[in-house]
Structure formats: structure tokens, C-alpha cells
A and B are shown apart, each in its own frame.
Chain A
Amino acid sequence: MNPNTVPIPLEAYLLIASMLFCIGVWGLINSRNAVRVLMSIELMLNAVNINLMAFSSYIDGNLIRGQVFTVFVITVAAAEAAVGLAILLSLYRNRTTVDMESFNLLKW
């Protein structure tokens, strides 16, 4: 890949991914709705996936190991979403709220 004909540098993808990751971190810390916390986690996982895909395309072009890792991350994210939403439903059944401030079930 001749660098003069590469239309988009690798750094552009990395900048997008880091912005997405920081937005996800902010939402994870500041959301009070538990569903929104799960959505923020999905945003962070997507940021990591963008990084992996960019590296696998620009640096590891022959053995695309980044794409394999991305497939695994997508798998784990699907499992995490299912279990997280199930936990959320059972919490809602016990507390009748989704406010993160009212979940102190694991407090000693």
C-alpha cells in the first residue's frame, strides 16, 4: 500500500475510536438509567472493535488477526448484552426502578 495513495490514514480511525471510547466512559459514569449504562458499554466495545479492525487492515494485512479478534469481541458483547439485560430485568422486578443510585444490593 503506497502511502501516497492511502486516502485515509490509520490515525483517523484511531482518533474516531478514542472519541467513541471516551464518550462511552462518560456515559458509563454518568448515566442513571441502567439500560443506558449497558448502551455505553456497547459503545466502548465498538470503539475497541474499530481499533482492532484498523490495525488488522493497515498493519496486519496478510494475517488478519484483528478481524478474528473483532468477531470474538462481537460474540462476547452479545453474551454480555443478554446476561446484562436479564440481570436488569430481575433487578427491576425486585426494586421496581432502573435508577442506578437505588441499586445497593451488594453493599455490605
Chain B
Amino acid sequence: MNIANSTEQICFLILASVIISGSLGVVLIENIVYSAFLLGGVFMSVAGLYLLLNASFVAAAQVLVYVGAVNVLILFAIMLVNKREELKPIAGLQIRRFFSGCVCAGLLALLFRVNLTTKWATPGPQAIGEEATERIGEHLFTDYLLPFELASVLLLMAMIGAIVLARRDVFLTEEEKLGERAGNIIDNKSKAILIDQSTE
């Protein structure tokens, strides 16, 4: 037990406690904006765990993609749909929560048992550490070339699909502008056309 090991253990404990308490906060806190920021903290701590595992490239990718893109996207969605609404009470909600909590606790116990009783093949070969980035590049362009290309096609499809789904189609004819039927326009106070796609 030298000082490097104990430092690593202390870092691991701090990161683990931040991950667990932060994810509990994500699930349990009523205010969803706080949940989104806690989610960013959880992502950062997971990136810290990756650094402890000698994987700096994936840690950087985690910070860039999850914290920089996904979390910001979630925050934008929260801002767009954040309307104070009183949720209808459901009969037996507490009982449902209790039972689903029991099911999750059972799953957790099962996973713990599997984790602790399996003879993992450690110690494996020496981790390569800083060469990991080069090795990931080799993998991506040799034996994982097809999944890599599929991932790029998937990203393109997701981008186009998200634009098509989230676009606000407002094709109002003249009498619809005068009349009151505008079923899918949310903001009833200002019935102005937000994206005028008519060609005149």
C-alpha cells in the first residue's frame, strides 16, 4: 500500500459516491432542471472513472459527447417543454413505486451475486495505457470498419430524422389564418406563423 494506490482508492471512492448520489438525485428530485445538471455531474464522474481505468481517449469522448452534446440537448428540451403542470394523481402510485423498487432491488441483488461469485479472469494481460488511442484507431479502421461505417450512417439518419420530427410544419392557407382552427399550434396567444414556408 503506497501513496499512489491509496490516492487511486480515494479518487475511486469519491467518484463512486458522486455517481451513486447524483444518479439518485437524477431519478428522485422533483425539479427536472436540477436533475439535468446532476446528470451532467454523473457524466463527468463517469469520465473520471475512465481516467482511473487508463482510458483517456474514451474519457475525453465521454466529456465531449455526453456532457457537451447530450446534456445540453436535454437541457434545451427541458427549456422547450418546461410548463408548470399539475400531474393527475394516479391511484396506488406509492404501491407501484414500492413494487418496482422491490423488483429493482432484486435485480441489484442478483447482479451483486453474479459480480461477487464469478471467478473473473484477473489479472489479465497488462493494460496498454497510453497506447490505447492508437489501438482504438487500428480497431476502428481494420476489424471494426463495418460497425464504424454503420455508426456514421446511423448518425446521419438520426440527424435527418430528428430535424424532420422536430420541425414545426406550419402550412396555413388564407382561410385557416382567418379562422380559428389551428390544431397543432401551441402558443395560442400569438398565432403568428413562426416559419413561413409559403412561397409567395
Contacts and interface: CB of A to CB of B under 8 A. Distances in A.
A78 B144 CA distance: 19
Contact of A26 (B54, B104, B140, B168): B104
Given A19-B20, A76-B154, A33 B49 contact: no
B74 A35 contact: yes
B108 interface: yes
Nearest to B6: A7
| Chain A residues touching B, majority SS | helix
Nearest to B116: A11
B178 interface: no
Q: Which of B12, B120, B144, B186 has the most CB of A within 10 A?
A: B120
Interface residues of B, number: 88
B125 A39 contact: no
Interface string A51-87: 0011011111111110110111011111111110111
A31 to B, nearest CB: 7
Interface in B22-65: 23-24, 26-27, 32, 35-36, 39, 42-43, 46, 49-50, 52-55, 57-58, 61-62, 65
Contacts of B128: 61-62, 64
Interface of B: 4-6, 8-9, 12, 16, 19-20, 23-24, 26-27, 32, 35-36, 39, 42-43, 46, 49-50, 52-55, 57-58, 61-62, 65-66, 69-70, 73-74, 76-78, 80-81, 83, 85, 87-88, 90, 96-97, 100-101, 104-105, 107-108, 111-112, 115-116, 120-128, 132, 135-136, 139-140, 144, 147, 151, 154-155, 157-159, 161-163, 165-166, 168, 184, 186
14 contacts: A6-B123, A8-B8, A16-B20, A20-B23, A23-B27, A29-B100, A53-B58, A54-B53, A60-B124, A62-B128, A64-B135, A72-B144, A78-B65, A93-B168
